[in-house]
């Protein structure tokens, strides 16, 4: 993370090493990320009224933008602001959501240029999920080949994680590869819990269970 000239002067004036100053800034950025994560899980998995959900995600989007203004070189903040934007787009849906989806993609791509391993490669997971969920050209940038590329990269970086396994499993499910999808979804279901992410993990596991049930229904038809 870049340290401004002002921050450098302050550090020297206070007798603080620049590394300590950078560590403090990084810790503050990560505290902000933890807040975004907690609120995102509450909005996505605990709110049922769509209007309240949309109002809440708009508020969180504003908070994420403020955090990004404070820490413009933090890949973790970029990733989570991108997740908030893409969640907003998923609630709004339709053509009006494409601007937010494009902004989210840009943030994920920029975070990768700074640190592709940030948050265990979450930018790749998020990019992959965008590419198979948004419409293809000429409406948007959707691409199954790109989705698979990014989701496999995410799995390389975090092979046991709940999200990369879930989204790759869901991608396979959407493309009717039921047997292979089941393997990844079951791995996601049994993934280790993430510290401080209990609500998000519970919500994700409910989505996994729903996907596995869909596979069972499709297989029973044959």
Domains of the chain, by residue range, sit at 42-156, 159-222
Contact 84, 61 (CB under 8 A): yes
Residue 136 has pLDDT above 50, yes or no: yes
pLDDT tens-digit readout, 53-95: 999 999 999 999 999 999 999 999 999 999 999 999 999 877 7
Residue pointed to by tokens 């603080």: 16
For 56, 118, 150, 191, the CA distances from 156, given in Å and listed in that order, are 34, 13, 10, 15
Shortest CA distance to 46 belongs to which of 176, 203, 220? 203
Angle between helical axes of 162-174 and 198-220 (0-180°, round to 10): 30
Radius of gyration of the chain (CA): 19
Of residues 137 and 166, which shows the higher confidence score? 166
Tell me the per-residue pLDDT of 7-51, one tens digit each, with 9 for 90 and over.
433 344 445 454 556 677 789 999 999 999 999 999 999 999 999
Spatial CA neighbour of 165 closest among 131, 193, 125: 125
**For residues 146-172, average pLDDT:** 98
Q: How far apart are CA 169 and CA 154, in angstroms?
A: 13
Q: Could you tell me the two tokens for 128?
A: 């992959």
CATH code for the structural domain at 42-156: 1.25.40.10
Question: Is the overall model pTM greater than 0.75, yes or no?
Answer: yes
Any residues with CB less than 8 A from the CB of 3 and at least 6 apart, and which?
A: 11, 18, 21, 22, 25
């Amino acid at each position: 993370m870049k340290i401004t000239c002002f921050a450098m002067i302050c550090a020297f004036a206070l007798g603080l090493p620049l590394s300590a100053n950078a560590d403090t800034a990084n810790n503050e950025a990560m505290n902000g990320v933890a807040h975004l994560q907690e609120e995102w899980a509450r909005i996505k998995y605990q709110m049922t009224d769509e209007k309240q959900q949309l109002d809440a995600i708009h508020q969180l989007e504003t908070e994420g933008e403020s955090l990004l203004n404070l820490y413009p070189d933090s890949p973790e903040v970029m990733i989570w602001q991108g997740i908030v934007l893409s969640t907003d787009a998923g609630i709004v849906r339709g053509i009006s959501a494409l601007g937010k989806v494009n902004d989210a993609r840009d943030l994920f791509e920029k975070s990768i240029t700074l640190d592709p391993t940030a948050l265990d490669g979450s930018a790749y997971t998020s990019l992959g999920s965008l590419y198979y969920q948004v419409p293809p050209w000429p409406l948007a940038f959707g691409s199954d080949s790109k989705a698979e590329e990014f989701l496999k990269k995410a799995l390389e970086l975090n092979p046991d994680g709940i999200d990369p396994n879930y989204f790759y499993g869901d991608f396979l499910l959407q493309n009717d590869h039921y047997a292979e999808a089941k393997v990844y979804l079951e791995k996601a279901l049994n993934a280790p819990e993430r510290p401080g992410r209990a609500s998000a993990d519970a919500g994700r596991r409910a989505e996994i269970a729903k996907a596995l049930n869909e596979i069972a229904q499709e297989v029973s038809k044959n």
